[in-house]
Structure 1
């Protein structure tokens, strides 16, 4: 297990996968490493579900932090292609949070849930000693719909095109730039810093996923979280037993990303990028998917293809899964600089 961040596949396969409780016929998609959601058949209806930490960073301001926390919870079920419908949320809050701070968090959750048509159905809330930001609980999001509308995470097929929205390091850029803006001031011009901090509200793939799924024959989707675009594409390829070839010069790069990643000394291609959608699309549907994304002002490009092989090839070079995302170590390093 890495010291920081999600467990790797080896840990998952040794400790988690052999111990999944009872086998049930209604589970149509169970846990796999690098797969965003599971699916249960309830009377012929598909129920996709995903669990994540409730991630609240007070340094972002509680309203902005809550917006991000909510969209993290929605993103993994949104890549099922089914619109999110229900939410169960558990807040294990640090003792120092005030009633007014919590009010801001919860009212933001409420506003975002209403906008997406999501109903909160159960949960738990309390303050507890030993609980600290940013991980202040956990939640499970559900999407209820038809099985025919599900985009399976293992559905990539040879010949599909690879569509990528927004580009690399969206989350790493947005969070690091807002958190450490004062440290960047001596090394970057104000315009580049503003562009980097503007990436914050790009950090949701929910609209990307639902737009793509509705527009054309999408065969698989994944959000580029831990280990970024390279990690996410590798996981799509592994889940489907195929290869993926990526051309990096075709991938959109948002303003401020390259400059911020250079400042923090991280590789944008392997850095966490919540908000970036990775999708494999049948060739006949690519133009429709790209047009639909463009109509929603979501930058996107056809940047690769699915091949009869295995693993990831980047610009002609075989590329392993990154293993460790540089974001977490960089965040701790610069937090120490800010405090010291």
Structure 2
């Protein structure tokens, strides 16, 4: 739940949403709170003080007792309607919402006659200004907190439930909205007397809290499309204000109007730089962007320190959606221990989904730099963990419904998605970096191990002999790949690190990694043959596939069957190198 003071918009903890309709509670929300005394109603009908009066009445046996209690409730509602007044800013807010092109409706536990009578107390708001009014007299609908009324109103207004903002001053309003999948805003202006029913929600019951109806405009703006161009300064300033500071090396930090970052390099012999865009980051592109860039710095033996981010968002992106991407980016940077020092954010029709391009910087001493050109013939090639955790998580995220139809259980899919949290190689790179016998490291990313070994061969100028039967593939990856007709060797595989090390250092390094619960498998060795990958399987010559497109990218794009793969002439660099599915 986001509690906001003085109408200020939430920054990094905003749920991403797009609004097309607002659905108001009536008593205490559009009308001034306190007109209906629920405590008096309960005493009049004999309802216990700790029960909701409407549910208590509906639970009575059909007959005169229920009818009498219902008439008493209706009499109280009509009297309250006669005494009601519009809530502060209610009429102006509804006019503004309609001017913004939003549908507006009412969902109330009151009877329709009381709502119609209370609307006559408004000077500039009538039922004609509302697209739908749902009351308890709509017999087929269960009352709030059931989601029925929200879902019904959304259908009448021809919008998806998740495009509706449910606004109310009552716990049951929030629970109904949340159960329907709507965005929820709690109006903390209730004035019910003791024994009333205006309970406040818990943090899990609503997305926003506002103290006054006029403050709701800031919430609504978070769900309206932004114009193309730079992110508005007020939104960007709020995001920047929420960034973690404390890195004394950052002399000029990010700020509105500041075009550069200035960093003092203290006691660092080398600055290591890397840049990658992310276009295939699943539902968490910010986290994927930070992970990919810091992994590559770590694979060079560097300590990742700083990030510059260019974030391109498609047209119709809302402030909440933009802030969600930026907030995720900031959270991932904080988790990785790196500082976001600047960048650029804009909406453009050049992209159809968020594209994040990061430049990452780290520091390392000259003797701890892992330069791939230092690798030597005879070095063992170790692969950490199992293939292909990132690709498995990505496919479970993007193609979950298809995998369920093919037989995967919800628990299996959740286990696959959880692999996204195991895709950093920073810790194993740090451990391996302490060994003088480690000459080179390489992060396995898009194009999978098939592409990564060719990239490593090209960078080292050495050949690689790989034993296919030794390659560890997780059971979850095999299951997903079997169902989708994908090859694990061509599946994006961040979370696994290739390490080239002296044969004498390999046993001790593997033991150190195993102690850290990061097992490493010896899958081959470097050879004198320049820039070539040669595969064996149980001692016999075997093919080594090449992938023009990463398997995850292919499946997500169109689900086309896998094209036949072949070894490039001479086993050299994969044509995938120039395509870059994710980076």
Change (3 A) 1:309 1:274: same
* Residue range with higher mean Cα deviation, 317-326 or 227-236: 317-326
1:81 to 288, 301, 305: 301
Q: Aligned runs of 1:17-32 on 2, under 5 Å?
A: none
Aligned counterparts, 1:3-152, within 5 A: 45-55=269-279, 57=281, 60=283, 64-134=284-354, 136-152=355-371
Q: Which moved more, 1:239-248 or 1:314-323?
A: 314-323
Q: Secondary structure at the match of 2:450?
A: helix
- For residues 267 and 194 of structure 1, the distance between their equivalents in structure 2, rounded to whole angstroms, comes to 21
User: Hey, what does 2:233 align to over in structure 1?
Assistant: none
Larger radius of gyration: 2
The structural deviation recorded for 1:321 is: 6.3
Distance 2:403 2:333 in 1: 34
Alpha-carbon distance, 1:246 to partner:
1.5
- Please tell me whether the aligned partners of residues 56 and 69 of structure 1 are also in contact (alpha carbons under 8 angstroms): no
Q: TM-score, normalised by structure 1?
A: 0.76
Residue from 289, 296, 312 that aligns with 2:533: 312
Q: Secondary structure at the match of 1:283?
A: coil
Distance 1:299 1:100, change over 3 A: farther
**Structure 2 unaligned runs (5+)?**
1-264, 561-583
Contact 2:385–2:520 (8 Å) recurs in 1: yes
Where do 4+ consecutive residues of structure 1 move more than 3 Å? 41-44, 54-57, 191-195, 318-321
Tell me if the contact between 1:154 and 1:236 (Cα under 8 Å) persists in the aligned partners: no
Tell me which residue corresponds to 2:470: 250
What's the CA shift string for 1:28-55, capped at 9, x where partnerless? xxxxxxxxxxxxx999821111111144
The partner residue of 2:502 within 282, 294, 299 is 282
Q: Does the 8 A contact of 1:193 with 1:256 survive in 2?
A: no
Match of 1:174 among 393, 412, 428: 393
| Structure 2 counterpart SS, 1:81 | coil
C-alpha change, 1:114 and 1:198, in structure 2 (3 Å) is: closer
**C-alpha separation in 1, matches of 2:337 and 2:402:** 40
Q: Which has the higher contact order (CA 8 A, sep 6+)?
A: 1
Secondary structure of the equivalent of 2:351?
Answer: coil
- Aligned mates of 1:230, 1:80 — CA distance in 2: 20
Equivalent residue, structure 1, for 2:373: 154
Contact 1:312 1:318 in 2 (8 A): no
Write 1 or 2 for the structure with the bigger share of strand: 1
Equivalent residue runs for 1:213-292 within 5 Å:
213-215=433-435, 217-292=437-512
**CA, structure 1 residues 288+100, in 2 after alignment: closer, same or farther (shift >3 Å)?**
farther
**Inter-CA distance 294–99: structure 2 relative to 1 (3 Å threshold):** farther
Corresponding residue for residue 212 of structure 1: 432
Q: Quick one: structure 1 residues 103 and 217, their matched pair in 2 at CA, closer, same or farther if it must change by over 3 Å?
A: farther
- Provide the rounded CA distance (Å) in 2 between the counterparts of 1:226 and 1:207: 20
For 1:323 and 1:189, the matched residues in 2 are separated by 26
Over 3 Å counting, the alpha-carbon distance change for 1:298 and 1:96 in structure 2 is farther
